């Protein structure tokens, strides 16, 4: 019964999405208040039925209902409960179900939100309804998760062991919350064009923020997982699938900054609309690249040409339609705004110039191998290409960042800003001197990275310190926090990249290797039985200056049901540095390969991401507490 209930709920959800689309779009006419009510009721109904359908699939997975093909293919009775739940989205069909579930949550939130005019919100609901209908149709026709299997097998095929990991259980929902959150910004932008509504940025901002926070955390989780799970100490591969999540993040970051000016002074109105459209378009392209099997990796669960084709058509319709609408209506909405050369608007514009260029780099580097493959001259675009461009772009951008919040809207005072930033400049110089004196190898990029990180952190700290806490605007605090987080991440990346020490040796039991000041003695490797795997667990004694400081246990795990093996690294962190061990292969009874890394500042990478997300959360909380912002003012303080 569960499967049939789920399928029925999904069909009803499709009908409701259709109603929401038609009523929502009709509701953009001033008189159509009935249609607006229908649209928001449909949005809540959509949420209930998608929730029911998703719940049915989860129930089937948790209760090991192998009469449902999807569960039989991806689950196993011995799998721990958490992975029976997360396994729901650990496959193509289920992940699309999660996609529409998140979409329904955002739709309900749009219906509930009070930030925009009734016509604008109604139009946004209409566009959300269209997207929901298209995706539910996609699920029903190409990716039905409720197909029955008769006779039902006694045991399921299991879930890819790489996906059986707590970090990865949370990674897809986070990332989807980001991708789909951009659909809400997209819907508001499209609604603004349809309803000719100038004041859209304020209504869309909570959704942009939510999307950006989720993307930041989702990307950080993915990178953290790659770090501790893949066993070679790297945190970012510039893998096409990672890039697919980085591109929406870059756009969302650009949009957050540009839309700030739009909301406050009306500047960059058309440009913000275009960014909102581009953000969701890149989310769709990302979904296409990942789901169509164009790229093969742990992310692409199945390569079925029909699915790829459907998503491709969807992309063309969504992007083409939105751009046509933009070309038609945007000139009417753009009115231009006055600002001086020295003003906060200019710094936001510079931010966008750098972020758009960074986006172009990621986009080119990701699709170029596909194009060159098609043209018959295959080539690879690996990490070096991206790093060559990213380093100067981001370092230059971060030099500008502290000026932004210190310049007023429309007309700023550069001299006063520079004066206020003198302490930050002093500390930055000090950081440069320290790095040059005490570290090796000395590199220009590393020195600059730490100097600029210090510059940004001290500037952000000064911003927070100088806030008037009695009349504090949450936004000013939030942006300082987010900028400081970025600086922390920068230090992590620079430290790990520059000063990593590594070792790779075959050790006999009792033998030691020496990495980054540590002595690592392999005492032995023994067999351990897990719930649904067998492991070879090493005992590695860690000595520093002749004293035992820890015993670490890197593992290799074998999952018999899935016939796969995974590496379980052992990481000992002091926040300032990670000692990272991975067990390599077995040579004979007493010889094993051991990989060891000392990654200075590695935890800063993810710590910084968390600080950035906290900044976003602070801003979001400020918005939700006070949905109607203060009236526009030229001298309004930083946000």
Partner 1 sequence: MRMLFAALLFLVSAATFAAPAPGTLADPAQETRARTLQKELRCMVCQGESIDESNAPLAADLRALIRAHIRAGESDDRIKQFLVARYGDVILMQPPFDADTYALWLTPFLVLISAAGVAIWVVARAARKPRGVA
Kindly list the residues in this chain that would bind partner 1 in the complex (CB under 8 A).
Answer: 232, 234, 237-240, 265-268, 295-297, 335-341, 345-346, 349-350, 352-353, 356-357, 360-361, 364-365, 368, 372, 377-385, 388-389, 393, 410, 504-506, 527, 529, 534, 536, 556, 558, 560, 565, 584-587, 593, 595, 632
Give dist(CA 411, CA 387) in Å, integer.
Answer: 36
Closest distance between partner 1 and the C-beta of residue 261, in Å?
Answer: 10
Environment class of 434 (CB within 10 Å of its CB; exposed 0-12, middle 13-18, buried 19+): middle
Q: Is residue 441 within a helix (H) or strand (E), and if so which, with residue range?
A: none
DSSP 185-202: HHHHHHHHHHHT-S--HH
Closest distance between partner 1 and the C-beta of residue 241, in Å?
Answer: 8
Give dist(CA 536, CA 113) in Å, integer.
Answer: 53
Nearer to partner 1, 506 or 610 (CB): 506
Closest distance between partner 1 and the C-beta of residue 382, in Å?
Answer: 3
If we measure between CA atoms, which residue out of 140, 153, 168 comes closest to residue 73?
153
Give dist(CA 562, CA 273) in Å, integer.
Answer: 47
Closest distance between partner 1 and the C-beta of residue 234, in Å?
Answer: 7
Give dist(CA 593, CA 585) in Å, integer.
Answer: 5
Contact 568, 164 (CB under 8 A): no
Nearer to partner 1, 93 or 578 (CB): 578
Nearer to partner 1, 106 or 271 (CB): 271
Closest distance between partner 1 and the C-beta of residue 228, in Å?
Answer: 15
Environment class of 589 (CB within 10 Å of its CB; exposed 0-12, middle 13-18, buried 19+): exposed
Nearer to partner 1, 371 or 548 (CB): 371
Closest distance between partner 1 and the C-beta of residue 404, in Å?
Answer: 14
Is residue 55 classed as helix, strand or coil in its secondary structure?
A: helix
Nearer to partner 1, 27 or 554 (CB): 554
Radius of gyration, alpha carbons of the chain: 26
Closest distance between partner 1 and the C-beta of residue 266, in Å?
Answer: 5
Nearer to partner 1, 239 or 304 (CB): 239
Nearer to partner 1, 346 or 569 (CB): 346
Closest distance between partner 1 and the C-beta of residue 223, in Å?
Answer: 14
Give dist(CA 353, CA 425) in Å, integer.
Answer: 24
Nearer to partner 1, 209 or 241 (CB): 241
Is residue 502 classed as helix, strand or coil in its secondary structure?
A: strand
Give dist(CA 493, CA 415) in Å, integer.
Answer: 32
Is residue 360 classed as helix, strand or coil in its secondary structure?
A: helix
Contact 198, 114 (CB under 8 A): no
């Amino acid at each position: 019964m569960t499967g049939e209930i789920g399928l029925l709920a999904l069909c009803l959800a499709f009908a409701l999405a259709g109603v929401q689309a038609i009523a929502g779009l009709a509701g953009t006419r001033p008189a159509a208040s009935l249609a607006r009510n229908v649209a928001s009721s449909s949005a809540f109904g959509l949420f209930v039925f998608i929730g029911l359908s998703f719940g049915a699939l989860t129930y089937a997975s948790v209760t090991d209902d192998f009469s449902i093909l999807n569960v039989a293919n991806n689950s196993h009775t011995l799998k721990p409960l958490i992975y029976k739940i997360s396994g729901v989205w650990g496959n193509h069909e289920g992940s699309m179900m999660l996609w529409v579930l998140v979409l329904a949550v955002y739709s309900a939130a749009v219906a509930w939100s009070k930030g925009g005019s009734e016509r604008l919100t109604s139009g946004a609901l209409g566009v959300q309804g269209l997207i929901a209908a298209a995706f539910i149709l996609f699920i029903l026709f190409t990716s039905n998760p409720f197909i029955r299997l008769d006779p039902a097998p006694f045991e399921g095929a299991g879930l890819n062991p790489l996906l059986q990991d707590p970090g990865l259980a949370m990674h897809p929902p986070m990332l989807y919350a980001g991708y789909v959150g951009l659909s809400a910004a997209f819907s508001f932008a499209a609604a603004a064009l349809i309803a000719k509504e100038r004041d859209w940025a304020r209504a869309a901002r909570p959704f942009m923020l939510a999307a950006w926070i989720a993307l930041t955390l989702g990307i950080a989780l993915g990178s953290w997982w790659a770090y501790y799970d893949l066993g070679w100490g790297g945190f970012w591969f510039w893998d096409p699938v990672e890039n697919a999540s980085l591109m929406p993040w870059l756009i969302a970051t650009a949009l957050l900054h540009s839309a700030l000016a739009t909301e406050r002074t009306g500047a960059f109105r058309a440009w913000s609309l275009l960014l909102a459209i581009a953000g969701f378009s890149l989310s769709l392209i990302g979904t296409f690249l990942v789901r169509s099997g164009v790229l093969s990796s742990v992310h692409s669960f199945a390569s079925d040409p029909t699915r790829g084709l459907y998503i491709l058509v969807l992309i063309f319709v969504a992007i083409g339609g939105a751009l046509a609408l933009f070309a038609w209506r945007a000139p009417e909405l753009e009115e231009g705004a006055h600002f001086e050369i020295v003003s906060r608007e200019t710094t936001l514009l510079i931010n966008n110039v750098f972020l758009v260029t960074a986006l172009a780099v990621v986009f080119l580097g990701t699709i170029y191998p596909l194009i060159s493959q098609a043209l018959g001259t295959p080539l690879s675009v690996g990490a070096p290409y991206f790093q060559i461009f990213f380093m100067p772009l981001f370092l230059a951008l971060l030099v500008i960042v502290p000026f932004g919040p210190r310049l007023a809207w429309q007309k700023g005072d550069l001299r006063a800003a520079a004066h206020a930033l003198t302490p930050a400049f002093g500390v930055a110089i000090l950081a440069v001197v320290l790095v040059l004196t005490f570290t090796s190898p000395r590199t220009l990029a590393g020195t600059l990275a730490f100097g600029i990180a210090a510059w940004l952190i001290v500037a952000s700290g000064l911003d927070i310190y100088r806030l008037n806490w009695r009349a504090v605007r949450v936004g000013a605090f939030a942006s300082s926090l987010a900028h400081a987080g970025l600086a922390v991440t920068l230090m992590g990346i620079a430290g790990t990249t520059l000063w990593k020490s590594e070792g790779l040796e075959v050790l006999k039991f009792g033998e030691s290797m020496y990495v980054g000041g540590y002595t690592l003695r392999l005492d032995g490797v023994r067999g351990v039985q897990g719930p649904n795997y067998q492991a070879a667990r090493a005992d590695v004694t860690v000595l520093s200056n002749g004293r035992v400081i820890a015993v670490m246990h890197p593992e290799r795990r074998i999952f018999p049901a899935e016939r796969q093996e995974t590496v379980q690294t052992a990481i000992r962190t002091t926040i300032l540095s990670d000692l990272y061990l991975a067990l390599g292969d077995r040579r004979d009874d007493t010889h094993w390969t051991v990989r060891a890394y000392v990654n200075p500042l590695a935890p800063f990478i993810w710590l910084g991401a968390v600080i950035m997300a906290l900044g976003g959360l602070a801003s979001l909380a400020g918005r939700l507490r006070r949905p109607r912002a203060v009236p526009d003012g030229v001298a309004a303080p930083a946000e």
